[in-house]
Amino acid sequence: MILLSASDLRLLYGEVEIFANVNLQVDEGARIGMVGPNGGGKTSLLRLLIGENVPNAGKVSRARSLRIGYVPQRAEASGEGTLRDEIMKAFEHLLRLEEDLATSALDIQVSDEEMRRNVERRYASLLQEYESKGGYDYQNLMERVVDGVGLPQATLETSLSAASGGERTRAALARALLADPELLVMDEPTNYLDFKGLAWLEDFLAKYSHAFVVVSHDRYFLDKVATQIWELERGKLQVFRSSYSKYRVLKDEQMTRQRVEYERQQEVVAKEEDFIARYHAGQRSREARGRATRLSRMERLERPTEEHTVSIGGLEAERTGLNVLRTQDLKIGFRDGTESTTLLALPDVNLQRGSRAAIVGPNGIGKTTLVKTFLGESAPISGSVILGHNVKPGYYSQGSLELPEHMNVLEALMDAKNVEVPEARSYLARFLFRGDDVFKSVADLSGGERSRLALARLMIKEPNVLILDEPTTHLDIPSREALEQVLLAYSGALLFVSHDRHLISLLADQLWIAENGTVEVLPYGFEEWQESLKEAEDQKAKSRARGRRRRSQVHTPAQPKEKAPDHEQIIADLEAQLAGLEGDLEKASARQDVDEVARLGDEHNRVRARLEEAWSAWNG
């Protein structure tokens, strides 16, 4: 079944054509990842598909009553209420049913004998609908999804106006997932997710029974979730029915073919033009005119254009001492007057010349505070940081917040290093600021442009230790790949915070894992770490399986009580109790026993909550 289709879409901003002749189709159960350079129109295309904007030409057709869930790249701080209120909008129908059930229950109490049967019948119908739509479980479902996307329960009471952009975006993601739409449309949903959130979303989408379209620059994520790739580039949409990795192979093969075909055509054109020029007069002039006519009618192939990427060459670094950065008894956090809060306690670490360390951990744990402490921008709670001999660090801050907003791009680069205008313009061209782009105001730059300018300002200073905080946020895939090549060729020490798993796996030779208030240093890379986590999870799964097998076997005579609680038996008892309650609920609902259904429903929620706690205690 076709959920949505579009034909001959064209979009203009003023007189600038963003894309044209776009044709696409979203089938039931489709798993689509959309890629393309920043500014290429991906967000604009999504808004056309969901009906938020109207194309200048072409048509979008949607299946009748199609339920669409949309997660914008940046959720606006508009609207009243809290983050919880925003998320609960996913359950508007259930909340209305609860109100109707309460009203119907009151009607039963006040109705006379003649009306009671009809009122009770309506109550039973409402209750059946409420049960079928997950009315007894939606609160637990909401808590699981909120935890999955990385929103702490304490933040749910934050007002929308006071919440951060990341919190609002994660709330919008939770709302869309909970609404269970037939078509889920997401615009860069991974930007504000940590490793736990990314893994959770990947698992959620792997099990998602409906269709989705997701824009992302996260190659690791796309390979996990997408079976079809839409590439929007230079105003054209191409569809590749493959994984992301296979798409890159197909794309490279396509570019090779196009170059060969273009070069062959150019050879033919050159020969024909030479013949026409040589024989335009004389005995063979008629043949020359015929060739000129055929040449004028030839459909010319476009010159294949290489992907627009950051191109800056290798970055040399002045030599430092062997030990670049050391810590002693370091605790980092923040102070409020005389009070202090410790976020992380570090073992004594030593970053050496040429090392490449990635700092990873959940959002909010203190990774940015840690790197600012290394740089002296934040004071430690206790302990010390020692920089080595001849260390000249370069720092890329998350969000590129340190840019001079009152300058244009050219001025901002020359503010970082005093160079001549021709040299500055040449350097900026390597970061895709060409022509009049260098006169753009910094305040008007997009997220990707700000990131490229911040990197240009950093690298022109030639630091010998790079400290980067989420350097690939807002960069498109070609720019990420170019940055990776630059960092691979960089000869200095590298310390970076990132959730970009592809970047980490490619660059890091050691991991600093920030978790549970401490930092653990692992002397190996991302793939080895993931393998160790998988082995630990497999062991835990085997332990659970053994527990289930023991519960299914005939019990042996009672053994002396253990000092520790028997979590397996508690879980088994609660599961049995829950199954019994569900059976009783079905019977009470069938006989339309309103009071008993209400009582059993409350008990069902209490037992389920106890079961969740028991599982958490056992897994913990």
- Quick: pLDDT tens for 461-512: 888 899 999 888 878 888 888 788 878 888 889 999 999 999 999 999 999 9
What's the confidence (pLDDT) of residue 33? 97
What's the confidence (pLDDT) of residue 14? 85
Looking only at Cα atoms, what is the longest distance across the chain? 115
Question: At a CB cut-off of 8 Å and minimum separation 6, what does 344 contact?
Answer: 331, 332, 333, 365, 366, 369, 370, 514, 517, 518, 519
- Position 86 pLDDT exceeds 60: yes
Question: At a CB cut-off of 8 Å and minimum separation 6, what does 461 contact?
Answer: 394, 416, 417
Tokens standing for 26?
């979203």
- Position 433 pLDDT exceeds 80: yes
What's the confidence (pLDDT) of residue 552? 60
What's the confidence (pLDDT) of residue 481? 85
What's the confidence (pLDDT) of residue 213? 97
Q: Are 235 and 43 in contact (CB under 8 A)?
A: no
Residue 459: how many CB atoms within 10 A of its CB? 24
What's the confidence (pLDDT) of residue 427? 85
- Model confidence over 559-608: pLDDT tens digits? 554 445 666 678 777 777 877 777 676 666 556 565 676 677 667 777 77
Between 116 and 527, the higher pLDDT residue:
527
What's the confidence (pLDDT) of residue 333? 92
What's the confidence (pLDDT) of residue 502? 93
Surface-to-core class of residue 1, CB atoms within 10 Å of its CB (0-12 exposed, 13-18 middle, 19+ buried): exposed
At which residue do the structure tokens 């002396």 appear?
Answer: 560
Mean pLDDT of 362-387: 91
What's the confidence (pLDDT) of residue 282? 81
What's the confidence (pLDDT) of residue 382? 93
Alpha-carbon span 465 to 460, nearest angstrom: 13
Alpha-carbon span 227 to 225, nearest angstrom: 7
What's the confidence (pLDDT) of residue 336? 82
Tokens standing for 395?
């720092």
Alpha-carbon span 610 to 571, nearest angstrom: 9
What's the confidence (pLDDT) of residue 322? 86
Mean pLDDT of 337-356: 90
Residues in a beta bridge with 159: 82
- Model confidence over 384-406: pLDDT tens digits? 999 988 889 989 887 556 789 99
What's the confidence (pLDDT) of residue 307? 52
Alpha-carbon span 177 to 144, nearest angstrom: 11
Mean pLDDT of 194-204: 89
Between 565 and 130, the higher pLDDT residue:
130
Confidence at 113, pLDDT banded by 50, 70, 90: confident
Q: What class does CATH assign to 2-98+134-246?
A: alpha beta
Provide the CB-side half-sphere exposure for 58 (13 A, CA).
22
Residue 13: how many CB atoms within 10 A of its CB? 10
Quote the pTM value: 0.75
In sign, the C-alpha dihedral spanning 113, 118, 121, 122 is negative
What's the confidence (pLDDT) of residue 195? 87
What's the confidence (pLDDT) of residue 312? 52
Would the CATH topology of 2-98+134-246 be identical to that of 323-522? yes
Report H helices in 418-515. 421-429, 447-459, 477-489, 501-507
Confidence at 75, pLDDT banded by 50, 70, 90: confident
Highest-scoring range by mean pLDDT, 129-133, 416-420, 590-594: 416-420
Mean pLDDT of 354-360: 94
Domain boundaries, the chain: 2-98+134-246, 247-297, 323-522, 554-619
* Kind plus residue range of the DSSP H or E element containing 498: none
At which residue do the structure tokens 């790739």 appear?
Answer: 229
Alpha-carbon span 356 to 433, nearest angstrom: 29
**350-352/323-336 β-pairing:** antiparallel
DSSP line for 486-539 = HHHH--SEEEEE---HHHHHHH-SEEEEEETTEEEEESS-HHHHHHHHHHHHHH
Mean pLDDT of 232-246: 94
What's the confidence (pLDDT) of residue 480? 86
Could you tell me how many helices (H) and strands (E) the chain has, helices first?
19, 19
**382-387/31-35 β-pairing:** unpaired
What's the confidence (pLDDT) of residue 551? 62
What's the confidence (pLDDT) of residue 529? 92
Percent pLDDT > 70 in the chain is: 89
Report H helices in 111-210. 113-132, 138-148, 165-178, 195-207
- Position 452 pLDDT exceeds 60: yes
First to last CA, the chain: 44
Q: Is 288 left (phi over 0), alpha (psi -120 to 50) or beta?
A: alpha
What's the confidence (pLDDT) of residue 53? 92
The domain at 323-522 falls in which architecture?
3-Layer(aba) Sandwich (3.40)
- Position 35 pLDDT exceeds 80: yes
Question: At a CB cut-off of 8 Å and minimum separation 6, what does 490 contact?
Answer: 314, 315, 317, 466
Alpha-carbon span 444 to 405, nearest angstrom: 9
